[in-house]
Amino acid sequence: MTSTPFDGLSKPQLREAAGLVRHAAARRLGHDAGHDLARRVVGELPLRPQETIAGYWPVRGEADPLPAMLALAAQGHRLALPVVEGAEQPLSFRMWIPGDPLVEGAYGIPTPGLSAACVTPTLLLVPGLWFDRSGARLGYGGGFYDRTLADLRRGWQPRAVGVSYEATLGGHLDREPHDAVMDFIVTERRVLRAP
């Protein structure tokens, strides 16, 4: 991956550098960024009536989608959270109603329990370490969202929305054939439709 502010770094080095930028943005912007993201998602992202929206529980400085998810639920959209089913497998998604109890899932990430219904999302809010304006995403290296989006897009056209800080959007990320591309990127400042 090249032409980012971190040209010449290996993928592990790029992930580490992007993570540092993301943590700095999270500390600088605090909770305000989540509310700014919510305004962008609800006010500027093209949404269909009664979407099934897969968000995520933010960890490690990820941009916080929870205010947006609460606002979407108030508008009548159904929410889901991802569940890691195992290495090299696509994610599954379980229904989540705000206030429902969560259990500790893989990597210590809160997830709905086994009694929550599995659903297929029509729109996914996707975390990442870095995004570029063409919709490329740098993830953690496990390939979970790449496999999941490839699987979902075989017979379905869910839209993928990269959720980012403005500070972690830019440059150019070289894509490999298996890398999933976002349809939109949303930051605390704007919504971009990927070309």
Instruction: Confirm whether 2 is domain-assigned.
Output: no
Residue 157's alpha-carbon distances to 58, 150, 152, 193, in angstroms, are 25, 10, 7, 16
Question: Running DSSP on this structure, what letter comes out for residue 7?
Answer: T
What percentage of the chain carries pLDDT values higher than 90?
82
Residue 5 has pLDDT above 70, yes or no: no
Instruction: Confirm whether 45 is domain-assigned.
Output: yes
Per the prediction, the chain carries an average pLDDT of 93
The pLDDT tens digits of the residues spanning 78-103 come to 999 999 999 899 999 999 999 999 99
Instruction: Confirm whether 105 is domain-assigned.
Output: yes
135: domain CATH number? 3.40.50.10420
Supply the range of the domain harboring residue 188. 11-193
Instruction: Confirm whether 5 is domain-assigned.
Output: no
Global pTM exceeds 0.85:
yes
Instruction: Confirm whether 135 is domain-assigned.
Output: yes
C-alpha 44/C-alpha 127 separation (Å) is 19
C-alpha 181/C-alpha 161 separation (Å) is 9
Contacts of 102 (CB under 8 A, 6+ apart): 57, 81, 96, 110, 111, 112, 113
Please give the pLDDT value at position 4: 58
What percentage of the chain carries pLDDT values higher than 70?
97
Instruction: Confirm whether 1 is domain-assigned.
Output: no
- DSSP β-bridge partners for residue 78: 52
C-alpha 185/C-alpha 107 separation (Å) is 25
Give per-residue burial for 76-92: e unless 16+ CB within 10 Å, then b: ebbbbbbbbeeeeebbb
Instruction: Confirm whether 73 is domain-assigned.
Output: yes
How many domains is the chain partitioned into structurally?
A: 1
Instruction: Confirm whether 3 is domain-assigned.
Output: no
